[in-house]
Amino acid sequence: MTSFTYSTGPARVVFGSGTVATLPDEVAQLGASRVLLIGSGRARPADEALGSLVAARFDGAVMHTPVDVTGKALAVLRDHAADCLVAVGGGSAIGLAKALALRTGLPQIAVPTTYAGSEATPVLGQTADGAKTTVRDPEVLPETIVYDVDLTVDLPVNLSVTSGINAMAHAVEALYSPGANPVADQQALDAIRRLARALPRIAADPADRSARDDALIAAWLAGTCLGSVQMGLHHKLAHVLGGKFGLPHSETHTVLLPHVMAAMAPAAMDRVADALGVSDAPTGVYDLVVALGGPTSLRELGLTEADLAQVDDHQALLRQAWEGNRPRQTGLPDTRALTKQVVDSFSGGEPRTRALLQDLVRTMHSYVLRNDLTEAEWMHAVTFLTRTGQISGDTRQEFILLSDTLGVSSVVDVLTNSRTPDTTPSAVLGPFYTEGPPERPHGFDIADGLPGNPLWADIQVADTHDKPVADAIVDVWQSNEDGYYDVQLPDLDGPVLRARFRTDADGRLRFWSIVPASYPIPADGPVGQLLAAVGRHPNRAPHVHFMIAKPGFHTLVTQLFVKGGDYLDSDTVFGVKDGLIVDFPAQQGPTPDGRDVSRWSRVDFVFRISEG
Ligand code: BEZ
Ligand code: FE
């Protein structure tokens, strides 16, 4: 037999874009005219909308609602005879308004700018002397919530992720609370569904309004359903960690959620897994957090091992969360002790080597588990790698090609070489560079008579203050009209379409070549088969390679891509960056050096390199 008690808050909700403009009306509907505005920078649109209704402002709200801060705000409220509270921001601003409402009975309007959901609960957490206590009282529930999606579009991705997972934690807790009821269940499941689809879209494009809409609706639903049930283990742990050790609220929720879920009966998690669209809910949330770049361990939030030991209950769960382990996948054998044993076996040697190998083990074990890998699949992978090695040699490096087509080379390249926006973006070296290309004079034709559309390149090398860099060594290489490099054509006589130049006193160099064409990477080996297996094409967008070196500067390895060329959006090695796509305009009339050709193109580009 089902039995429950359901009560709902009286809150009025205004949702949309530009809804801060309704604030004066909303204040009037509450019969008020002297607003205490709580919030910091994000409160400006509300401040402007409220105009002369603002009697006083308080921007000192902090996390976990310490009672001494509430005392200060209370003094401001009384000094200015405020008759209404408007809180704009996340859990801190809204928490403070609730604390003030509890003490004064004043009506509140919450204008949330995060997904914390606190505006929809009659619950207030306060801290005093390092302990957090929770009050549940209808008085703390805001009378009105104004959700304005416009206020959320510039919420940074990391905060969007952690406050979104915080909202998901509310929904999960509501589903499994002893006070669960059918209304809250539907709200919770819808909130989980919306967050699972919105958060990856927000991480990819923080200005995606429909994703922001979804996430904000989810935050409201999650807060509302949590408000109608009792809180459970998840909030209990989060409150202990927040109150005692000052751990950040939404980050703590984000780390705890998968582990609390893993501690619940597996069957209880089926509805959550369904809503998330995964087969296993705890690992599904953990993997979502990893994919979104959110925190996974209490350790990274600053909790020390000594702190951990001070918490009395739930040590096993908290240890998993502290270490940031992926929860055990339900329905699979528990291999965590095995993984730990292997990780621990790599405990000697040089620290960086050890750390890299230990993480490789963790990541690979997790990959096998996540995919419930079969022996046949693993043997297939081993055979693939064996063939990749067998086909590699002095003139072919299939492993680099594998790294390139998996995008790993580009990630390493971005990490290593593209850390400052002031320098020209880098791009992968590729397998066709040869050391020490022939040094050529300015104006030389590196195509050496090969067929193709003649290209005049006028290049300058400058430092990050726009000062020309003289005497820089610039290696250039590219493929021929058919997409082959000289090293792939054994019949060619000598190096061609590759050369070394030296910049002149103005940092410039000029040379002739031919307009590059798109070409397939070598696709007759295991990597080509891998691409074919998923219907990926093997082509690179048309480009010319450059390597620019000068003592005292970081060497720049990069490529210039032909604007309008094929495959710019789907370059098979992920080398294309916006700043490297340049015009190669067709020209008519005389050439810069008087060379007699009727049809030619040119490319002009300034490379910026940095000292160091
Ligand atoms: C290249 O542009 O030369 C290249 C880069 C990565 C893989 C294959 C080719
Ligand atoms: Fe290339």
Residues 481 and 456 in one domain: yes
Distance (Å) from CA 415 to ligand 2 centroid: 21
- Atom 4 of ligand 1: nearest residue by CA position: 430
Same domain, 204 and 222: yes
* Domain boundary residue, one of 118, 152, 186: 152
Instruction: Provide the pLDDT for residue 579.
Output: 93
Looking at the fold, whether 234 and 144 belong to one and the same domain comes out as: no
Does 395 fall in a domain?
A: no
CATH number, position 252: 1.20.1090.10
Please give the structure tokens belonging to residue 502. 């030296």
The closest alpha carbon to 165, from 256, 262, 91, 271, belongs to 256
pLDDT of residue 1: 64
User: Which pLDDT does position 9 carry in this prediction?
Assistant: 67
pTM beyond 0.75, yes or no: no
Residue from 573, 574, 576 to probe ligand 1 pocket by mutation (most atoms less than 8 Å from CB) = 573
Give the closest residue (by CA) to ligand 1 atom 1: 430
The answer to whether residue 398 is domain-embedded is no
Domain span at residue 11 reads 1-152
Would residue 448 be called left, alpha or beta, if left means φ above 0 and alpha means ψ between -120 and 50 degrees?
Answer: left
Q: Does one domain contain both 277 and 353?
A: no
Asked which of 152, 176, 200 is the last residue of a domain, the reply is 152
Domain at 15, CATH number: 3.40.50.1970
Q: Work out whether the CA dihedral 311, 315, 318, 320 comes out positive or negative.
A: positive
Domain identity same for 84 and 169 = no
Q: Cα separations (Å) of 251 from 90, 167, 310, 548, 573?
A: 13, 11, 20, 43, 35
Q: What is the CATH number of the domain that holds 446?
A: 2.60.130.10
Cβ atoms 320, 296 nearer than 8 A: no
Task: Indicate whether 400 belongs to any domain.
Answer: no
Residues 121 and 163 in one domain: no
Return all residues near 216 (Cβ < 8 A) that are at least 6 apart: 15, 112, 115, 147, 149, 152
439 pairs with which residues across the strands?
Answer: 500
Task: Decide if 576 is inside a domain.
Answer: yes
Task: Report H helices in 292-374.
Answer: 305-309, 315-323, 336-345, 351-370
Position 66 scores a pLDDT of: 92
> Which pLDDT does position 330 carry in this prediction?
72
Express each pLDDT in 568-598 by its tens digit.
999 999 999 999 999 999 998 899 999 999 8
Q: How far is the CA of 131 from the centre of ligand 2 (A)?
A: 61
Are residues 409 and 550 located together in one domain of the fold? yes
Write out the residues surrounding ion ligand 2, Cβ under 5 A: 430
Which numbered ligand comes closest to the C-alpha of 531? Answer: 1
Q: Tell me the ligand closest to 430's alpha carbon.
A: 1
pLDDT of residue 498: 96
Same domain, 106 and 222: no
Mean pLDDT of all residues belonging to the chain: 92
User: Which residue, among 162, 168, 160, has the nearest Cα to 284 in the 3D structure?
Assistant: 168
Residue 388 lies in a domain: no
Count of domains forming the chain: 4
Q: What gap in Å lies between CA 598 and CA 592, rounded to an integer?
A: 13
Q: Are residues 113 and 163 in the same domain?
A: no
Same domain for 513 and 581, yes or no, is yes
Q: Are residues 168 and 256 both part of a single domain?
A: yes
**Angle formed by the axes of helices 233-245 and 249-263, to 10°?**
140
Amino acid letter for position 360 = L
Is 161 within the bounds of a domain?
yes
Q: How far, in Å, from the CA of 430 to the mean position of ligand 1?
A: 4
Per-residue model confidence (pLDDT) at position 521: 92
- Examine residue 390 and state whether it is found in any structural domain, yes or no: no
Q: Which ligand is nearest to the CA of 397?
A: 1
Residues linked to residue 454 through DSSP beta bridges, in sequence order: 514
Token pair for 324:
């940031």
Is residue 39 a contact partner of residue 46, using CB atoms and an 8 Å limit? yes
Query: What pLDDT is recorded for position 176?
Result: 84
Residue-level pLDDT at 34: 97
The residue nearest atom 9 of ligand 1, judged by CA position, is 430
Ligand 1 atom showing the smallest separation from residue 559 Cα: 2
| Whole-angstrom distance, CA of residue 346 vs CA of residue 161 | 33
CA 139 to chain centre: 38
Ligand 1 mean position, distance from CA 400 (Å): 9
Which residues of the chain are under the pLDDT cut of 70? 1-2, 7, 9-10, 418-419
Same domain assignment for residues 137 and 210: no
Pocket around ligand 1 at a 6 A CB cut-off: 401, 404, 428, 430-432, 521, 540, 573
Handedness of CA 146, 151, 157, 159 (dihedral sign): negative
Distance 573 CA to ligand 1 centre (A): 7
121, 152, 183 — which closes off a domain? 152
394 located within any domain? no
CA distances to 41, 56, 145, 561 from 52, rounded to whole Å, are 18, 10, 21, 56
